[in-house]
Amino acid sequence: MKNIHNTKSITIKITEKTKNKIQECINKFEKNIKKIRDYNISPNLIDNILIQYHNTLQPLQKLAYITNENKNTLTIIAFEKTTISSIKKAIISSNLGINPYSIGEKIYLSFPKITQENRKNLIKLTNIEAEKHKIQIRNIRRKINEKIKQYNKNKIINDDKKYKLQNIVQNITNKNIKKINKILKEKEKNLTKNS
């Protein structure tokens, strides 16, 4: 009876660990892909730019509201007027290639329209990011499968249980690779709008 309980516990542990690790990877992929520009400019492109504030570096999103003025322009409204010049400096020194301008208390960032060449590069960058996270998911699967094999080798689980667990892990992997492909296709669709 103890062994049955133990294998159920191992099944739950492995299933949850696999889901959690892979979900972390999916979350990171979604976060990273939002930083890649598409048809509409997103505040996510700049929300993690670090700003010098009271002798520390703070993410822009903690010091200002960032909104879409239109599909090519972001507006930044600093919580404190004293941070406006620091925000502008940080944006200029980031790798965006955008020069901010301010009118009153608002900072504007105007992004050029996406050219066909830019679009191809952005799609390529998006695909590289997707592939990188698919590899991470497969590495998670590999490590979990190694753990399953170790359980089997140590006689904690039998061969049937080993294959069942490996099948569960493979199904979770397949489902999440499909999820990455779906997110990728959506991003590509947003990049090719009005092309």
Domain boundaries, the chain: 2-35+115-191, 43-110
Q: What average pLDDT does the segment 35-48 reach?
A: 81
Instruction: Report the top-level CATH class of 43-110.
Output: alpha beta
pLDDT at 39: 74
Estimate to the nearest angstrom the gap between the alpha carbon of 146 and the chain centroid.
Answer: 26
Four-way CATH pick for 2-35+115-191: 1.10.1060.10, 1.10.132.20, 3.40.50.300, 2.40.10.220: 1.10.132.20
pLDDT at 56: 92
At 46-94, the pLDDT tens digits run 877 899 898 999 999 999 999 998 888 999 999 999 899 999 999 998 8
DSSP 194: T
Q: What average pLDDT does the segment 121-140 reach?
A: 95
Two tokens, residue 15:
């299933």
Within 8 A by CB and 6+ apart from 122, the residues are 36, 37, 38, 114, 191
How high is the mean pLDDT of the chain?
89
**At residue 153, what is the residue type?**
K
Residue 143: its H or E element: helix 116-153
* Selection from 84, 87, 105 nearest residue 47 by Cα: 87
Radius of gyration over every alpha carbon of the chain, rounded to an integer in angstroms: 23
To the nearest 10°, report the CA torsion of 78, 80, 81, 87: -50
Total-model pTM = 0.76
Q: Are strands 106-110 and 73-78 parallel, antiparallel or unpaired?
A: antiparallel
